Amino acid sequence: MQERGRTTTTEGHIPARAPVAAARRAGLLVTLVLGGLTALPPLSMDMYLPALPQVTDVLRAPAATVQLTLTACLAGMALGQLVVGPMSDKWGRRRPLLVGMIVYVAATAVCAFAPGIELLVAFRLLQGLAGAAGIVIARAVVRDLYDGVEMARFFSTLMLISGVAPIIAPLIGGQILRITDWRGVFHALTAVGVLLTLVVWRFLHETLPPERRHEGGVGEALRTMRGLLADRVFTGYMLAGGLAFAALFAYISASPFVVQEIYGASPQTFSLLFGLNSIGLVAVGQINGKLLVGRVSLDKALGFGLTVITLAATALLLMTAGVFGEVGLVGIAAGLFVLMSAMGLAMPNTNALALMRTPHAAGSASALLGTSSFLIGAIASPLVGIAGEATAVPMAVVQLACAVAALACFLLLCRPWRAEAEPES
């Protein structure tokens, strides 16, 4: 039986295994390693953002095509999780993670030498496929080690560690562009990948004991995922989190052009604004973990966060459409700051609430959570540039549509006003 905040199984309590107990005792070290793994996606995306206009000029490709380099990486991370998640349930967390990291390093190095936009898109896809290992396995390791409110607090702490990446990544990318071109960004990402691979190999121990692994093949993995999707509440949290992430990714993919091309800011100014928004996300995430978790139900915190995201997206649409006249960069930046900050309530709580229901298949559940987020984000990304580079209205429209849909999924599928949260049979 399963309840929010606490998980038991029909077989009884699962005793603490030696590897799990040792990993939990490691505490700060495990947090830093998992934080590094979850920081890999924002590093891969955000260090590259200030260079998007330069890639457009150097490779002589339209903005919509260059944005496909983001979409390809995101789609790769989505699809890769569907493979790596079940693999980690069968073979443990460590081996699939190390293989994925090695391939990530190789693909990133090739991106640095891509002569044309087609090859760059292709290897960004491979980069995403391999980088998926870090995303999905980090969440699965958290589920191996923690449960209930403790897990929600850990996700918020993890957001503090991984949240440093989107703060510093555009700043680093902007500074790299001062001394070299966009290819230097991929050289730096290659070095980061090598370092993270060595850290994982040295410090991250196995957290899934052999007796808790699944022995089945593809068929069992598909049956497990089908069972997870049949749980209405799990699916509600999965879709709400994925749609909220899509609103976030609409900002990530559109903001370099909105801030630099429409409002005339420099790459360095864009990096500073992006970092400020990331600080807001991290700060609210810490308020969630340190002050709200244990005092306010996770559902209430999640509902409030989704509501604020919806209101901020509405304000952005009104401003970009000219309803309030010429608001300038300050008004747009304020709206984006509120929207980004509210993600600090939405993202950790959707993950925690969904994973509380899946102690038997943390890898597969993590894969579904990540895949839905990245696939929905990949669909949203090209839409923000559909009207060209001269207007920010498409970005706001996509954000508002995703926010409203996320709130609807939360209310209609999760039904948070109900006291019980039993998986449906």
Percent of the chain beyond pLDDT 70?
86
CA distance 326 to 283: 30
In this prediction, residue 399 carries a pLDDT of 93
Above 90 in pLDDT, residue 421? no
Average pLDDT of the residues in 169-186: 85
C-beta atoms surrounding 2 within 10 Å = 19
Lowest model confidence (mean pLDDT) among 207-211, 343-347, 395-399: 207-211
Instruction: Report helix, strand or coil for 7.
Output: strand
39 token code pair: 């920081």
- Name the band, by pLDDT with cuts 50, 70 and 90, for residue 145: confident
The more confident residue out of 187 and 418 is 187
| C-alpha dist (Å) from residue 340 to 68, 163, 280, 353, 367 | 23, 12, 7, 21, 24
Most confident of 51-65, 156-170, 188-202: 188-202
Instruction: Report helix, strand or coil for 6.
Output: strand
Closest CA to 197 of 110, 107, 278: 107
Segment 303-332, tens digit of pLDDT: 999 999 999 999 999 998 888 877 788 889
Q: Which residue has the tokens 């580079």?
A: 389
Lowest model confidence (mean pLDDT) among 6-10, 250-254, 375-379: 6-10
Q: pTM for this one?
A: 0.70
CA distance 187 to 192: 9
Q: Kindly give the interhelix angle for 117-145 and 63-91, rounded to the nearest 10 degrees.
A: 40
Above 50 in pLDDT, residue 85? yes
Above 80 in pLDDT, residue 98? yes
Instruction: Report helix, strand or coil for 59.
Output: coil
* DSSP per-residue string spanning 55-84: HHHHTT--HHHHHHHHHHHHHHHHHHHHHH
Q: Are 279 and 167 in contact (CB under 8 A)?
A: yes
CA distance 297 to 277: 26
Q: Are 160 and 284 in contact (CB under 8 A)?
A: no
